[in-house]
Amino acid sequence: MNDVSLFHGPNAGYVLELYEQYQRDPQSVDPETRAFFEQWTPEQPTDTAVAPPPLEHAVKRSPLDVTHTVSAARLIRYIRELGHLAARIDPLGSEPPGDPGLAPEIHDVTEADLAALPAEIVRGPLVEGAGNALEAITRLREVYSGTVGYETDHIQNYEERAWIREAIESRRFFENFDAERKRDLLQRLTEVEVFERFLHQTFVGQKRFSIEGTDMLVPMLDTIIRNAATAGTREVVMG
């Protein structure tokens, strides 16, 4: 596992460059890559004929396993960073733009290869109960490329980015609405859109702040105020 010859062609140079970056600053690489490098070091050239003693508990892996692990780590990173490009957020059903890097074949790995890898390489809440990496990655796609898109890669602070990704993947703030609640939300959003158009047509040329793009804040505020009232709040001031 610690022999750089396990990687071939451009992969070897890429992995060594990434490993050097990891040595300078472990936090500069994503968690999956960091976890891999914590257990992997490239073989160093020796000046003498004396070989270092073998590690007593060294884990032997085939070149294929290591290559597939690195490929899977790249795929996992792409899903977390660019999965939102494949999210189905258009209610009319148009195809999302996607990204080539979200496909396993771009990383020279197949579903069969992923099924042979442990789920733990994905890391995070979605690993629990997954039988292998393929199952965990399928869950990861459902989260990042489902009907909600999450774009988090612009968050520069690692701890903040890790916190929000954990919240996303654990579905900590996710609610499974029943059909009636969904209709109520649609009705409220329709009211917001109609009122927005009314203001636009009634006050032509007047300076105002549009709610377009943030219309979901209205039902969110409804929920906050409703919960505040339930908790005993008697007055809410906005402005």
pLDDT in tens, 186-226: 999 999 999 999 998 998 888 888 888 889 899 999 999 99
Asked if 158 and 194 sit in the same domain, the reply is no
| Residues 36 and 107 occupy one common structural domain | yes
Instruction: State whether 150 and 189 are in the same domain.
Output: no
Domain residues for the domain of 117 are 4-44+58-169
Q: How far is CA 192 from CA 201, 209, 217, 237, in A?
A: 14, 14, 10, 20
**169, 192, 211: which is the final residue of a domain?**
169
Report how far apart, in Å, the C-alpha atoms of 85 and of each of 120, 123, 134, 135 are: 25, 22, 20, 21
Residue after which a domain boundary falls, among 122, 138, 169? 169
Note whether 118 and 215 are same-domain residues. no
What H or E segment, with its residue span, contains residue 34?
helix 31-37
Is there a single domain that holds both residue 62 and residue 158?
yes
198 and 112 share a domain?
no
Residue 51 lies in a domain: no
78, part of any domain: yes
Q: CB count, 10 Å around CB of 103?
A: 13
- DSSP 8-state symbol, 207: -
Predicted local confidence at residue 27, as pLDDT: 82
What does the block give as tokens for 159? 């701890």
239 lies in some domain: no
Residue 50 belongs to some domain of the structure: no
Contact 34, 26 (CB under 8 A): yes
The single-letter code of the amino acid at 124 is G
Tally of structural domains, the chain? 2
76 shares a domain with 9: yes
Q: What is the pLDDT of residues 25-53, one digit of tens each?
A: 888 788 877 877 777 665 544 444 444 45
Residues 35 and 111 placed together within one structural domain of the fold: yes
Whether 77 and 151 share a structural domain:
yes
Give pLDDT < 70 ranges for the chain. 1-17, 40-64
The verdict on residue 137 lying in a domain is yes
Rg over alpha carbons for the chain, rounded to the nearest Å, is: 24
For residues 203 and 162, membership in a common domain is answered with no
Q: Give the residue from 169, 187, 210 where a domain finishes.
A: 169
Q: Is residue 174 part of a domain?
A: no
Q: What is the DSSP string of 61-83?
A: --HHHHHHHHHHHHHHHHHHHHG
Is 49 within a domain? no
Residues 84, 113 within the same domain: yes
Q: In this structure, are 107 and 153 located in the same domain? A: yes
**Token pair of 86 as six digits:** 């494949």
Answer whether residue 77 is part of any domain.
yes
Quote the CA–CA distance of 230 and 183 in Å, as a whole number.
23
Closest residue by Cα to residue 67 from 26, 22, 108, 13: 108
pTM: 0.62
- For 42, the token pair is 């490239």
